[in-house]
Structure 1
Amino acid sequence: MAEASQAVRGVVTKGAVAVQKTLAQPVPTARVVVASAFGTIVEWYDFFVYGTAAALVFGKLFFPATDPLISTLAAFSVYAVGYLARPLGGLIFGHYGDRIGRRSMLVLSLLLMGFGTFFVGLLPTYEQAGILAPICLVLLRLIQAIGLGGEWGGAVLMVAETAPASRRGLFGSFVQLGNPVGRLVATGVFALATRLPDADFLSWGWRIPFLASIVLVLVGLFIRTRLDETPAFKDLRQSGATARMPVLEALTAFRRETVTAIGLKVTEVAWVGILTVFAVSYLTTQLGMAKSFVLDAVTLATLVELFVMPLSGWLSDKFGRRVIYLAGTGFGIAFAFPLFWLLATREPMIILFTIVVGICLAQGMVFALHASFMPELFGTQVRYSGISLGFQIGAAIGGGLTPVIAAAAVGWSGGATWPISLFLTALGVLTFAAVLSTRETSGSSMEN
C-alpha cells in the first residue's frame, strides 16, 4: 500500500512539474506579434516600392537609352543590387543580433531601410543631375538592402523564440504577412499614382510612394522600441553561452543547416521576382496590357495570399513543415511552363487567375513557413546569423538576378519565355532536394 501511495505521489509530482513547465512556456503577446509583423510590413513596403518603380519608371528617369530593353535591364540591375547586398546586412546584423540581442537590431535595421527609401523620393533624375542621379540611387538601394538583410531575422526570432512549439508555424506566418501586406500597400499606392496623367506621374507622382514611407517608419519605431528581448536569448545571455563569432560558427558547426536554409529560399523568391517585377514590365511593354490592370492583378493576388499564408502556417503545425513545403515547391515546378502560356493569351481574366494562383501557391504557401522552418534548424547561439545568411543568400541567388535574367532571356530568345520557365524549374528542383535532405522540425524546442 505504501509503495502504491509513493508511486502515486511520484506520478502526481511529475505531472505537476510538467504542468508548471507548460504554464511557464512563453506565449507571444499580441504586442510581440503586431510589432514584428508591422515592422516587416514597413521593410517589405520599402523593398517592393523600389521593385515596382524599377519596372515602371526608373529605366526612363535614371537610365535613359535609345533601346528600351537596355534601359529596363539597367533598372533591373539596380534592383538586383538590393538582393546582392542583403547578405551583407545578414552578416552584420546576424553577428550583433546573436551577440547583443534581437530587439536593438530591429530598431537599427528599420531606420536604415526607412530612410534609405525616403531619400529615393527626393533624388533628382538623370536629366536633372546627370550620372550623379543613378549613382545616388544605387547607394540608397545598398543602404536599404543592408537594413532589410538584418531586419528579417530579428523580426522572425522575436516570435519564433517566444511562440509555443505547437503554434509556431501559425504565429510565424503572421510575421511573414509583412511581405504581402508591404507589397499590397506598395502596388496599391503605385496603382493610384499611375492613374495620374503620364507627364505628372513621371514628373512627381512616382515620388509619393517613397516619401510616404516615413510615416510607416515612425509608427514602426514607436511600436518596436516598446518590445522586450526574447526569453531564449535572455537565457543564453545569462548563461554566458553567446558565441564569439556566431557567423563563423553558423558556417562551420551548422554548415549543413545553412546550406539547407539557402535551398529553402531560392525558388520562392524567384517567383516573387517574376510575378511582381518582371511580369509587370513584360505584360505592359511586350504584351501591351495596361499598367493599372497588371498592378490591380498583383494587388488582388496579394489580398488572397493574406488568407493562404496563415492557412499554410496552421497546416504545417498540424501535418509538418516538410509536406506543406514540398506541396508548394512541387506546384511551382509544375506551373513554370504553363505560367507564360497563360500570360501570352492576353485574356484579362486568364492573366488575373494566373497571377493570383502563381503568387499564392508558388510563393506564399512556402514563404509562410520560413519564419518557423528556418529558426528550427539552428541553435539559439547562432540562430540570428544562420537564418539571416540562409534567407538572404538564397534571396540573392534566386531573386536578385531573376528579373535581369528574365528580361535578358526574352531579348536573347526573340521574345520566347521557355528559358525563364526552365530557370524556375531548376530552382524548384534545388528547393525540393533541400527539403528532402532535412528532418521534420515542427514541434521542436527553441531552447538549445
Structure 2
Amino acid sequence: MSNEINHGNLTEEQRSKQARKAGLASVVGTTIEWYDFFIYGTMSALVFPKLFFPGSDPYIGLLQSFTALFIGFLARPLGAAFFGNFGDRIGRKATLVTTLLLMGISSTLIGLLPTYENAGIIVTILLVFFRFCQGFGAGGEWGGSVVLSVEWSAKKSRGLMGSMTQIASPIALLLSSGVISLTIFLTGDHFYTWGWRIPFLISIVLVIIGFIIRRGVADSPQFTKMKKENRLAKKPVVEVFKKYPKTIFFVVLASLAQGVPFYVFTTFSISYGTEQLQMDKQFLTNTILLVAIVEIIVILYAAHLSDKFNRQIVFYVGSLLTILVAFPFFWLFDTKVTVLVVLAMCFSIVGAGTVYGPLATLIAECFPAELRYSGTSLGYQISAAVQGVSPLLCVYLLNTFNSTAPISIYLIVACLISIVAVVMLRKSTKNMDMDMAG
C-alpha cells in the first residue's frame, strides 16, 4: 500500500499526473464518506424518529433523532486527533484508506439494523454507536484529503486543488439525496419499512470503488521528504496544540460560516418543511439535488477566485452573502410556493459555497508540513462538533419561540464570528506560505 515513488526524479508531467490522481482520490474518497454521513442526516429527519425513537410526541422524537445525529459530530474531533496522529507520522494515504473503510462498514451495518419495534433499546444504542464510528472516520478524512491534494499542487492552483475535497460535500449531497429520492419513489409506502435501508447498503459498493482509487495515489512530496530526513513529529497532536493553540482556535471559529448555514439550509430545512409546513418530502429532497449542483459550481468558482485574488476576501464575501439571506430564506420558505422555496434553497447555499471553496486551502496554509494533517483536521473537526448542534438547536429555538427569527440571528452571528476569526488568521497564513511552496 505504500506505493512510494522517487519524487526527486519526477518530471513536470509526472508531477501533474500525480496531482490529478490526488485530486481524483480526494473527490471520490471524500464523496463516499460524506455520502454515508449525509444519508444518516437525512434519515434523522425523515425516518429515524419513527423507527428508532418512537414516542407520542413528534417533537421529542425529532430531538432524540437529532441528538443521535450530533453524536457523530462529537466523534469527529476524536477521529481528527487519532487519525491526525497517524497521518503526520505514518502517511497521508494509508490513513485515508482506513478512514474510508471505517465509514463504509459503519453505514452498511446501519442498513442491516432491526428497528426499535423488533429488538428494543439495543438497536437504538447500536445506531448511536455506528453513528459515532461514522463521525470518528469522518474526523480523519477531511483534513487528510485536503492535505494530500494541496501538498501535491502547484502554488498557482492550490486553492482549486483544495476545493477538490470541498466539492465532494455537495457531490455527496447530490448522490445521497438522489438515491433517497429515487428510493422513496420506487418503494412508496414501503420506504418506512424496508426502503430506507437501500441507501445505506449501497455504501459498501462505493467503498470498494474508493478503496481501489486511493490505493493508486502516492504520498505527497513534502511528507516523503520529511520522512527521509527524519523530520516527522513524534507526537503531532500534542505538538500542534502546544505550538499553535491560537491558530486552531481561530480555525474552529472560521469554519462556522460554512457549517452552520449548510446544516440549517439542508438538514434542518427538510425537517422544518415536512414537519412544520407539511410540505412533500419528495419535493424537498428533489430540491436538495438542485441545491447541491449550485453549490458545486459556486465552490469551484470561489476556489478559482481565491487563487487569482485573495482567499480571505473571497471568504468575507461568502459570509456576507449568508448574512444577507438569513431572514429572506425563511420568508420565502414559509410561503410554501414551489418556485419561491426552490429559489430560497438555491440562493441560500451560495454564501456557504463561496466560503467553502477557499476554506480548505486557507486552513492548510496555517500549519507547517510536519503538523499539517493534525492541525488541519483538529481545527476543522472541532468546529464541526460545534456546527453539529445546529439542527438540534434550530428545533429547540423554533419550538421555544415559535418563530424562525432566532434561527436567522444564529446564522448571522456565526458568520460575523467567522469573519473576525479569518482576520486573525491572516498572519498565520502568510507565515506558512513559503512552507507550502516547498
Partner of 1:152: 142
Matches within 5 A, 1:226-237: 226-237=216-227
Q: Is the CA contact 1:25–1:164 (under 8 Å) kept in the aligned structure 2?
A: no
Q: Is the CA contact 1:380–1:447 (under 8 Å) kept in the aligned structure 2?
A: no
SS in 2 for 1:75: helix
- Structure 2 residue corresponding to 1:401, chosen from 361, 364, 389: 389
Partner of 2:105: 115
Matches within 5 A, 1:15-414: 26-27=15-16, 28-196=18-186, 198-359=188-349, 361-398=350-387, 400-413=388-401
CA distance in 2, matches of 1:186, 1:444: 39
* Range moving further from structure 2, 241-250 or 142-151: 241-250
CA distance in 1, matches of 2:32, 2:234: 31
CA shift for structure 1 position 198: 5.0
What are the Cα deviations for residues 177-233 of structure 1, in whole angstroms up to 9, with x where unaligned? 110011111011111122246530111110000000111000000111121111010
SS in 1 for 2:132: helix
Q: Is the CA contact 2:315–2:359 (under 8 Å) kept in the aligned structure 1?
A: no
The amino acid that maps onto 1:409 is L
Partner of 1:417: 404
Q: How many residues align?
A: 426
The amino acid that maps onto 2:320 is G
Q: Is the CA contact 2:155–2:437 (under 8 Å) kept in the aligned structure 1?
A: no
CA shift for structure 1 position 436: 1.3
SS in 2 for 1:260: helix
CA distance in 2, matches of 1:444, 1:142: 38
CA shift for structure 1 position 239: 1.4
Higher Cα radius of gyration: 1
* CA-atom RMSD in angstroms: 1.8
The amino acid that maps onto 1:436 is V
CA shift for structure 1 position 370: 2.4
What are the Cα deviations for residues 250-308 of structure 1, in whole angstroms up to 9, with x where unaligned? 11211222112112212211112111111001011111111011111111011122211
The amino acid that maps onto 1:396 is A
Q: Is the CA contact 1:26–1:231 (under 8 Å) kept in the aligned structure 2?
A: no
Q: Is the CA contact 2:267–2:391 (under 8 Å) kept in the aligned structure 1?
A: yes
CA shift for structure 1 position 22: 11
**Structure 1 residues 243 and 29: CA distance shift in structure 2, 3 A:** closer
**Structure 1 residues 198 and 430: CA distance shift in structure 2, 3 A:** same
The amino acid that maps onto 1:305 is E
Q: Is the CA contact 1:86–1:392 (under 8 Å) kept in the aligned structure 2?
A: yes
Partner of 1:17: none
CA distance in 2, matches of 1:23, 1:71: 57
Which ranges in structure 2 are unaligned for 5 or more consecutive residues? 1-8
TM-score normalised over the length of structure 1? 0.92
CA distance in 2, matches of 1:324, 1:445: 23
* Range moving further from structure 2, 189-198 or 130-139: 189-198
Which ranges in structure 1 are unaligned for 5 or more consecutive residues? 1-19
* Range moving further from structure 2, 22-31 or 143-152: 22-31
* Range moving further from structure 2, 39-48 or 22-31: 22-31
CA shift for structure 1 position 63: 0.2
Question: Kindly, what percent of the aligned residue pairs are identical?
Answer: 39
Partner of 1:439: 426
Q: Is the CA contact 1:273–1:402 (under 8 Å) kept in the aligned structure 2?
A: yes
CA shift for structure 1 position 242: 1.1
Is 1:428 the counterpart of 2:415? The answer is yes
Q: Is the CA contact 2:19–2:149 (under 8 Å) kept in the aligned structure 1?
A: no
**Structure 1 residues 358 and 420: CA distance shift in structure 2, 3 A:** same
Partner of 2:5: none
* Range moving further from structure 2, 21-30 or 183-192: 21-30
The amino acid that maps onto 1:56 is L
CA distance in 1, matches of 2:391, 2:40: 13
**Structure 1 residues 30 and 306: CA distance shift in structure 2, 3 A:** same
CA distance in 2, matches of 1:255, 1:22: 38
The amino acid that maps onto 1:35 is A
What are the Cα deviations for residues 120-144 of structure 1, in whole angstroms up to 9, with x where unaligned? 0000000011101110000000111
CA shift for structure 1 position 175: 2.2
Partner of 2:3: none
Q: Is the CA contact 2:333–2:341 (under 8 Å) kept in the aligned structure 1?
A: yes
What are the Cα deviations for residues 314-350 of structure 1, in whole angstroms up to 9, with x where unaligned? 0000111000000001111222222211211111111
Q: Is the CA contact 2:83–2:95 (under 8 Å) kept in the aligned structure 1?
A: yes
TM-score normalised over the length of structure 2? 0.94
Partner of 2:4: none
**Structure 1 residues 439 and 419: CA distance shift in structure 2, 3 A:** same
